Structure 1
Amino acid sequence: MDHISEILDLLELDSCGHDTFIGKHPVTLQQRTFGGQVMAQALAAMYRTVPSERLCHSLKGYFLRAGVTSEDITYTVARPRDGGSFTTRGVTASQGGHEIFTMSASFKEPEDGLEHAALPSKPPTPPESCVPLTEQLRTVAPQFAAMWEREWAAIDTRFVGFSNRETSEGARMQVWLRSVGDVPDDPRIHQMVLAYASDLTLLVVSALAHPQTFGSPDLQIATIDHSMWFHRPIRVDDWVLYDQSSPNAANALGLSFGSLYDEHGALGAHAVQEGLIRLGDERRRRGLV
């Protein structure tokens, strides 16, 4: 995919009964469904059942099984509560009769209240002065760079910098993100695309402090859970700074945090992800390779 219209097409789900929707896949050489796509489509399914004035402020998803790209995904929405201030929804994604993903989310109407926001970990280099992420990837994982250009070029991703040192906040990485093409003004769609993009680089940060190169066959990486909190509307067709850190890796699991800012420093969202980062020796010991 090389234009945002292709991602927006993925968010146009087909209805197939009460609170049940079908999500398509893009043309892809990948065998496994991209997790950001599943999250974005799950949020799109929820929004089909939520009053239009209420926006998502938090979500949490669990990846249960790897999805396959050869089969559509069925999203079934549950409606636990429609309250005076908050709407709660759950969704289950399934393929071939098996659940592959579950997510719960809360929605509310925007309102005025107390305001404060943390700043990025360090002032970033302007996006126009940063190289495409694929150029950085070619130096460490050329096969992954080629896959990125084929699968995710619809999100223009610029590499700002990283630290693989054991700092007080763990390994860090900053990238700029922007859709290739305009996105409609609807803030719900911008949230869906942010959810999609938030899965592109976050888990990678948990491996930065270690000698194993991302994309190496000696490192198995898979997302287990992904949470997001939406604080302020920011546009994904303008530059978004993704400021990421990994404070911990243990028990073959890596934990990563991400803050998403607009180009003017407004904090739009947070993302937190935990994922499997299993070394090749352990995979062989367990008979997994």
Structure 2
Amino acid sequence: MTNQDNDIDTLLQYFALETLEVNLFRGQSLDIGTGRIFGGQVLAQSLKAAYSTTREHQVHSLHAYFLREGDCHKPVIFEVERVRDGRTFSNRRVSAIQNGKTILIMSCSFQKLESGFDHQAPMPDVPGPDELTEKTLIPIDKIRQLSPRMRRTLTTQGPFEFRFVNDVDPFDETPKKPIKRIWFRARSPLPDDQVVHRTLLTFVSDYHLVSTATLPHGISYLDPRLQFASLDHAMWFHRPLKIDDWLLYDCDSPSASEARGFATGHVFDINGKLVASTAQQGLMRLWDKPENT
């Protein structure tokens, strides 16, 4: 995504999938500067493909596995299997395909809106977004230490605004508690359409989550010795949400073991309602030497 492509309207164009045949769609790929497809892109596009085969239902959960690295210079084909259509619930299975190989599989479930029991965990007591300011993820004095590609990825202003409750310097090797709390919102107003808001939340939920697992170990996700990649991703949507208003992403990592880091997240709206939850595992493999040597 280039500097002129950072608005929400441009991002939404990547989710306007081309229909090739019944249950078959094509989406263009987004380049965020890493040379490979951003996981949130293929997650959101897979969800949008599934949405294209449903009526009067909203996604309430999704579970996905990242199988292969995607090429951001090529489109992705999405094949949807209509597993079940019931009066209340519908289920879909999506395969994201590139170069004839599956790069992601997703199962998702949709439900007609209905009332029922209601309770939730409380939102953490943290400063509100108006008490914080937007800062670069990388301290200005350390930007020169990055490769040109990573400099572009981590310093380009994107379609979402992030305000960090806890300032995290990725170059600081001091072990920390595995907790991140981040306020975020879309930079532009959006239509009142839950398909749009839930698809965009799926996209942005892949930011900052599993990197929480690196914090207790004094290792940066920017360290060239670290092989770091998402393995799977799950989401549960609890209540209607608006991503063009402030949301708090409360991330923590209860475990890392066997070269995998595990993190969970809870998304609260500005009024403290729990609107979604996430979970993700990522590969965390530390080599003695940088991967590319």
Q: If the length of structure 2 is used for normalisation, what is the TM-score? A: 0.89
- Deviations 1:31-87 (Å, cap 9, x if unpaired)? 100000100000000000011x21000000000000001110000000111112210
2:199 paired residue among 192, 196, 203: 192
Partner of 2:233: 226
Say if 2:30 and 2:38, in contact at 8 Å, map to a contact too: no
Structure 2: where are the runs of 5+ without partners?
169-173
- Deviations 1:120-166 (Å, cap 9, x if unpaired)? 3x31212122233524555777635641333x611111111179867
* Partner SS for 2:217: coil
Counterpart-to-counterpart distance in 2, 1:203 and 1:137: 21
Say if 1:130 and 1:159, in contact at 8 Å, map to a contact too: yes
Number of equivalenced pairs: 280
AA matched with 2:129: P
- Deviations 1:89-146 (Å, cap 9, x if unpaired)? 00000111011000000000111100001013x3121212223352455577763564
Q: Does 1:15 align with 2:19?
A: yes
Q: Does 1:132 align with 2:139?
A: no
Give, in angstroms, the shift of residue 2 of structure 1.
Answer: 2.0
Say if 2:137 and 2:154, in contact at 8 Å, map to a contact too: no
Q: Does 1:241 align with 2:244?
A: no
2:153 paired residue among 147, 154, 157: 147
Q: Does 1:267 align with 2:274?
A: yes
Partner of 1:113: 116
* Partner SS for 1:208: helix
Q: Which moved more, 1:71-80 or 1:135-144?
A: 135-144
Say if 2:81 and 2:92, in contact at 8 Å, map to a contact too: yes
Counterpart-to-counterpart distance in 1, 2:281 and 2:31: 28
Counterpart-to-counterpart distance in 2, 1:222 and 1:135: 19
Structure 1: where are the runs of 5+ without partners?
none
Partner of 2:171: none
Say if 2:40 and 2:204, in contact at 8 Å, map to a contact too: yes
Counterpart-to-counterpart distance in 1, 2:223 and 2:200: 28
Distance 1:274 1:283, change over 3 A: farther
* Partner SS for 1:161: coil
AA matched with 1:147: T
Distance 1:156 1:209, change over 3 A: same
Partner of 2:220: 213
Give, in angstroms, the shift of residue 266 of structure 1.
Answer: 0.7
2:45 paired residue among 36, 41, 56: 41
Say if 1:90 and 1:103, in contact at 8 Å, map to a contact too: yes
Distance 1:200 1:124, change over 3 A: same
Say if 1:162 and 1:171, in contact at 8 Å, map to a contact too: no
Counterpart-to-counterpart distance in 1, 2:167 and 2:114: 36
Q: Does 1:60 align with 2:63?
A: yes
Counterpart-to-counterpart distance in 2, 1:211 and 1:29: 25
Q: Which moved more, 1:177-186 or 1:140-149?
A: 140-149
Partner of 1:4: 8
Q: How large is the RMSD of aligned CA atoms in angstroms?
A: 2.1
Give, in angstroms, the shift of residue 234 of structure 1.
Answer: 1.0
* Partner SS for 1:276: strand
Counterpart-to-counterpart distance in 2, 1:24 and 1:211: 37
Counterpart-to-counterpart distance in 1, 2:215 and 2:141: 14
Counterpart-to-counterpart distance in 1, 2:50 and 2:65: 16
Give, in angstroms, the shift of residue 225 of structure 1.
Answer: 0.2
Q: If the length of structure 1 is used for normalisation, what is the TM-score? A: 0.90
Distance 1:140 1:194, change over 3 A: farther
AA matched with 2:117: L
* Partner SS for 1:193: helix
Counterpart-to-counterpart distance in 2, 1:250 and 1:282: 21
Give, in angstroms, the shift of residue 282 of structure 1.
Answer: 8.3
